[in-house]
Structure 1
Amino acid sequence: MNEPKYWKISDFVEELRKNLDIPNIHINTVDGWFKRLENDRIHYINRTVETNEKIYDELDLKIAIFIKKRREEKWALGAISRELNNFTSLRSFPHIEEKPTPYVDNIEALKNQITAEVQKTFAELAATQMEELKNQYNQLLTTLPKQQSPEEQRTKRFEELMLQKKIERKLEEDAEKIWSELPETERLKKVGFFKKEVDLEKKSQFMRNYKNDHFESYLKTEMGLEI
């Protein structure tokens, strides 16, 4: 029968990294998970008798793996805590016998002690939250589009300009062809009694309208987009 395994926090986090094959799990993050579970009276961490130092076992490892996987799925810590009861058995808190409240001679010393404990708790929570914010920030950076170099930007502008010129030439050619196929009554105008010539103003208007009306469809064709 295998002997139970126990770890202090640093060794526990190392064991968690091995199990998940993830080297960058921060010790403050893991410590924060279990502090929250204890603060919410959900799961208790065993302590050593001599120093009251937290020691973690295989049940805690199972819970840590569960929390990490759910965090990767974007679960909130509150939702994970509520789901733990359905996932595995949790360690209850030891029963503490109530003792008569001792008389305190030095009220100021008690206030200082309470203040120090509160500050320590806030500092630990802040470290955990900062680590999580850092991870979220790094994930956000990986999703941002890569910024183009000046050379890439110049190349892109050149390609866009060449594409525009190509489309304008094609529009010009097609408009000229369609114009030439129109009846003379639409293309020509009388000059005097017997002479006719191209109505340049009308042609210019026709060419301009054709380009404006068809530029988008020509662009989509050149870019291989559906029309």
Structure 2
Amino acid sequence: MELKEAVWHISDFTEEIQRRYEEETTVKESFHYNTVDKWFKDFENKGIHYIQRVADKKVYDDLDVDIAIFIIKKRSQKWSLDAISNVLSAHLEVRPFPDLKNDEEQGLSEAQVMVEMGRKFEKMQKEFEKKILHELDVKKKELEQQLLNRLPKPKSDEEIRAEKTDIMISTVRKRYEIEGEAIEEWNKLPLEQRVKKVGFFRTEEDLLKRDNFIREYVKKYFENVDR
């Protein structure tokens, strides 16, 4: 049996009948492809209408579209599927069941061969795209790893703590060193600037003034370093 020019598998066929029904009636209907498949299985089981096969897979054409739209219209009028099957052949052309012996002798028609070739090509294309995507993903991961290898190795928590401890110790040592320099500079000042009177005939070192001198000296040093 020759296939018509346009054929669909069940999922695409379901979308096609929904689209055509909406164009014809302006009513949008939605069906799962399992529901549509059940309609046609019921007709086949009752010997009313045959669905064509290509490589053991059902394919649907414009004749099946007309039948599906007829079913949808009747279902919207609350008809049961059994009632529809009783009147289907009186309203529409139905496809007779093939002579299996003749079909085996004749082999696949040209249209069937084209459909099967298209199905195989689509499968090959999907496998090729999948392979390319996998290879690109592998290359991406390799490049990411190469970039990571070029980056400095992240420091461990122990290394970070050790660095902070070294910085703290170094800072404290430097502070002591600068305080020592400050004391030396303080001692170079004239005596009258370093002492204070504590009586008529007695003087002593002005410790408060000395501490302020040392503090300011250290402060100025670290301010210059931060710059």
TM-score of Structure 1 vs Structure 2, range by shorter chain: 0.3 to 0.5
Q: TM-score, normalising length from structure 1?
A: 0.41
Q: Would you tell me which structure has more helix in proportion to its own residues?
A: 2
**TM-score, normalising length from structure 2?**
0.41
